[in-house]
Homo-oligomer: A and B are copies of this chain.
Amino acid sequence: MSIGTVSRVLNNSDHPVHPATRERVLAAIRALDFEPNALARGLSGRRTQILGVVVHDITDDYFNEIVRGIDEVARPAGYLVLVLSSYRDPELELDYVRRMRSQHADGIIFVGGGLQVPGHVDRLRRQVEAIEAEGGAVVMLAPNDLPWPSIVPDTDAGIAELVEHLVGLGHRSFAMLTGPDHLKTSVERAAAFRSALARHGIALDPRAVVSGGFERLQAAEALERLVEQGVRFTAVVCLNDQMAVGCLQAARRLGLRVPRDLSVTGIDDLPVTELLDPPLTTVRVPMRELGRRGMELVLSRLEERPFEAPTALACELVVRGSTGRVGRGSRKGER
């Protein structure tokens, strides 16, 4: 029996194969424990069934949740999901993208916001262009300077709600802990806060704005430093949940009771935030759904099927226990 026939059986080709023959083929495959060579398959013009997912940090639950969402859609569709963690290193990111091109990945999803490093965007664009030219589908799931289809969480509305909430509780002086300045996500969230505050005639004290990393520890240190320096604020808004968790820990160490002495907020609504003490008030980013939609967008583009892709996903405020009315406690800094 010929090679071609086997291939047709394997791919349920529309070319008819006699049921008996098909059965014989399948039996032989089982007997020999045969596994088709994915390389050869990919080579001969077909798809590779590989999807590259470029994230900033796979340790971070934010990315992890999104990857899970992607996987929920990708796996049933037969895709192998490769998670590529750049740890926010542009070189590494570019290297991964090249590699995906080389492997002829059918699609690439960029999950983290673009790294705003001089020259990097252009080099990345060249690669992405090449990938698209070779039939791959590229999708972005965060604000990015690359002109490709993207779905982004619309945190602005949620941040506005959050500010509304805090102001309603009587807060007027805020501290803000931001992520790295070269991260578009961070920059945009910060801008959203500033403009929402501005609508209430509130301006941020520059001393109360700390731009550091997006990580827990960095936030904890930042808060401690602010308090040490005697900067006054009744609420600290963090640009992601990880940092808020760090603030909660730092606050406890500083003897500040949350929310009595200090209100703390995050953004993302990571799975852990519900379990914290107190549970975190935050802006919910629909991470799983973001991942699913992203993958659906990739699939639709590969199949050249139209897809009603939303370009943004609503993010709503989730009020929990880490925010409270101002002025009921001692002022921060006093222990």
| A interface residues (Cβ-Cβ under 8 A, vs B) | 33, 35-40, 42-43, 48, 58-59, 61, 64, 80, 82-83, 98-99, 101-104, 126, 130, 217, 253, 275, 277
A187, chain B: closest CB distance, angstroms: 28
Whether the pair A35, B101 counts as a contact (CB closer than 8 A) is yes
Whether the pair A35, B80 counts as a contact (CB closer than 8 A) is no
Whether the pair B80, A83 counts as a contact (CB closer than 8 A) is no
A61 and B36 CA atoms in complex are apart in Å by 35
Contacts of A83 in B (CB 8 A): 58, 83
Using known A-B contacts A102-B38, A104-B37, determine if residue A217 contacts B275 with beta carbons closer than 8 Å: yes
Whether the pair A99, B80 counts as a contact (CB closer than 8 A) is yes
A99, chain B: closest CB distance, angstroms: 6
A119, chain B: closest CB distance, angstroms: 15
Task: List 24 A-B residue pairs with CB atoms under 8 Å apart, sorted by A's residue number.
Answer: A33-B130, A35-B98, A35-B101, A35-B102, A37-B43, A37-B102, A37-B104, A38-B99, A38-B104, A39-B40, A39-B43, A39-B48, A39-B103, A39-B104, A43-B43, A58-B58, A58-B83, A59-B61, A80-B99, A80-B103, A82-B82, A83-B83, A217-B275, A253-B277
A213 and B5 CA atoms in complex are apart in Å by 48
Whether the pair B37, A130 counts as a contact (CB closer than 8 A) is no
Contacts of A40 in B (CB 8 A): 39, 43
Number of copies: 2
Interface residue from B36, B58, B275 paired with A64 (Cβ < 8 Å): B58
Contacts of A104 in B (CB 8 A): 37-39
A253 and B278 CA atoms in complex are apart in Å by 12
Chain B residue with minimal CB distance to A130?
B33
A272 and B294 CA atoms in complex are apart in Å by 33
A60, chain B: closest CB distance, angstroms: 10
Give 16 new A-B contacts, CB below 8 A, not counting A58-B58, A58-B64. Answer: A33-B126, A35-B101, A36-B102, A38-B99, A38-B103, A38-B104, A40-B43, A43-B43, A58-B83, A59-B59, A59-B61, A59-B64, A80-B99, A80-B103, A217-B275, A253-B277
Ordered nearest first, which 3 A-B pairs have the shortest CB separation? A38-B102, A39-B42, A39-B39
A102 and B103 CA atoms in complex are apart in Å by 14
Contacts of A99 in B (CB 8 A): 38, 80
A64, chain B: closest CB distance, angstroms: 5
Contacts of A217 in B (CB 8 A): 275
Contacts of A275 in B (CB 8 A): 217
A34, chain B: closest CB distance, angstroms: 9
A164, chain B: closest CB distance, angstroms: 32
A182, chain B: closest CB distance, angstroms: 23
Chain B residue with minimal CB distance to A50?
B103
A217 and B35 CA atoms in complex are apart in Å by 40
Contacts of A36 in B (CB 8 A): 102
A40 and B80 CA atoms in complex are apart in Å by 19
